Structure 1
């Protein structure tokens, strides 16, 4: 009986591993790029269970397949562990350089725990705040921070793709664009730092491939790669952040980094899984921040829950100057 169970488990893990390798954009194929950590752990557990089988004729092949699955999945996720070299230089907090603190939060439109987000803002004192899934209710609830954040971009929507931007620093050349899909906006602007350097910023929230959203990953991938190509030839300070509805280790996000040349401060430091708050075993990094080589990292944290399905992400960068 155990042998039959392990055969089925091994076949399922193998199939879930190879499905993303097919050149199909349907969510049934692409969704298995997300749980690579979970598939790695399950493959190791399956290989261990196979040690208790009594028939070597299929015991060792099953162990081999499970270990191959685990190694393949591990190759994707290992950059987001401390076993990998840090991609972004660490900068000490006490250094007297221009710093930039960013808080990104997918608030979940139906969640009304604004006081919890306001409490985090009070504690972390970010320079820039971007909220995703924020509607008119959230716009009104966050009006109490207007005095501290005089520069704002409001795009309230009731379709789960509203977006709000709050900044202590001036925002110029602001554009609110629907790059790929109607009703799915992004914000592009120049952030003017106190030392007068300008940072080109992109705040994104493309729709995910899923049975309740887009049937395929094509719109999301198109938006991410469109931005990657746009910034690839720029040599000014750049920042891209938001809920990209893609995991850090997916082929699309990997292509985004390679094409854009932007850095990921999580590499070599950890995964900083922001979704899903309610299911600890089913978590992955959906909220991202990428930046040009003009910045070093002071701090990166996954913040406590605000009753959304996403944890907020906090990053403090230090401006190093020109490349």
Structure 2
């Protein structure tokens, strides 16, 4: 048993330390994802060590110290996404319907044929904007029935799992569909005009994940996040960025995006809102995101029911409330992270100037 515990502790320490290496290989970057599972594993390891090890020598204490350090490190990343943390975005206290922005983000899973369930969810929750990822021509044909109530749209049906559609009740202006880093991976950029007349710059993203079957490295995904973040931080406009970023909320690269952009995460202090994988409760993490500038407070955020996809939909309602701007703080970047961001975009030969800037 002692040998088993030694080996298991070594493995736990390895997978805990691996994400500290900024190597973009998928094996390294994938270790950002299961931090909750690794925290549970570290807690179980501590229990096993206390139960089975002999503490008359230093070796057992060393193993226990390693497991405790692993647990603390994993909790440092995930605790902000629990109710134990102070909220990053203020709750809306005086909701004004004409300043509300309600967005439903849904990765539909291209082979999924339960479009009617998603349409029913849209009809039930009445989002101002629906953005779908992985939607092909078949999905477009099913979702076009929403155009009676959501007459503004952006459409890019693709068969490569990266199609994207936006349907909106609110006017969309200065629309552009771009392929920022990879020629077959679209992103959408527009302005949305609220009922109050206020205009919000909005970006819809779905970069490819690091995986052995798609991109062996995260370089392309990271570059898209970096250049959008750089583009956003140079703007004084109210901004929303949403989509399936194929990255977890607590990863170093998502934190880099938040630091560079200055955008806020309404989940901080409220919950994880794990949207993937819908079919495997033990292996879930937050892949679908919505970030926004300090101009907004949050009225609600919730995960909606299963509709046949491997993702749950995410419904977020914001309130345009610029008077709260000075009372909400995100994350600050440092020189090392700025250099890291520059190296990421340089590697892919892209920059903030490649990102459309609606309204500017």
TM-score tier by shorter-chain length is: over 0.9
Indicate the residue corresponding to 1:303 in structure 2.
304
Contact 2:95 2:299 in 1 (8 A): no
2:15 counterpart residue number:
16
Secondary structure of the structure 2 residue equivalent to 1:84: coil
Q: Provide the residue aligned with 1:29 in structure 2.
A: 28
* 8 Å Cα contact 1:187/1:203 also seen in 2: yes
User: 1:50 — aligned with what?
Assistant: 49
CA–CA distance in structure 2, aligned partners of residues 94 and 218 of structure 1: 40
Q: In the aligned structure 2, how far is the partner of 1:20 from the partner of 1:305?
A: 31
TM-score by length of 1: 0.97
Residue 271 of structure 1 aligns to a residue whose secondary structure is: coil
Deviation at 1:122, TM superposition (A): 1.0
Deviation track 1:210-238 (CA, whole Å, cap 9, x = no partner) reads: 11110001000000010000010211110
Deviation at 1:23, TM superposition (A): 2.8
- Answer whether contact 1:276 1:309 (CA < 8 A) is retained: yes
8 Å Cα contact 2:99/2:196 also seen in 1: yes
TM-score by length of 2: 0.87
1:141 aligns with 142
SS in 2 for 1:213: coil
Q: Distance in 1 between matches of 2:103 and 2:140?
A: 18
Which is richer in helix? Answer: 2
Give the secondary structure class of the aligned counterpart of 1:19: helix
> Quick one: distance in 2 between partners of 1:96 and 1:124?
15
Equivalents in 2 of 1:96, 1:109: separation in Å?
A: 34
Match runs of 1:216-255 below 5 Å: 216-255=217-256
DSSP 3-state at the match of 2:242: strand
Gaps of 5+ in 2: 326-360
Mapped to 2, the partners of 1:233 and 1:214 lie a distance apart of: 29
SS of the residue 1:52 aligns to: helix
Shift of residue 54 of structure 1?
Answer: 4.2
Preserved contact between residue 98 and residue 196 of structure 2 (Cα < 8 Å): no
Tell me the equivalent position of 1:84.
85
Structure 1 residue 59, shift from structure 2 partner: 2.3
Deviation at 1:9, TM superposition (A): 1.0
Helix, strand or coil for the counterpart of 2:51?
Answer: coil
Structure 1 unaligned blocks of 5 or more: none
2:336 alignment counterpart? none
**Higher mean C-alpha deviation, range 30-39 or range 95-104:** 95-104
Q: 1:290 to 1:55 in 2, by over 3 A?
A: same
Structure 1 residue 24: Cα displacement: 1.1
Q: Is the 8 A contact 1:53 1:59 kept in 2?
A: no
Is the aligned partner of 1:287 residue 2:288? yes
- Displacement of 1:115 in angstroms is 1.0
2:273 matched to which residue of 1? 272
CA distance in 1, matches of 2:315, 2:168: 14
Q: Distance in 1 between matches of 2:39 and 2:53?
A: 24
How far residue 92 of structure 1 moved from its aligned partner, in angstroms, is 3.8
Q: Matches of 1:158 and 1:206 in 2, distance apart?
A: 15
Residues 97, 320 of structure 1: 8 Å contact kept = no
1:253-272: CA deviations, max 9, x gaps?
A: 10111111111000000110
* Matched-pair contact (CA < 8 Å) for 1:209–1:220: yes
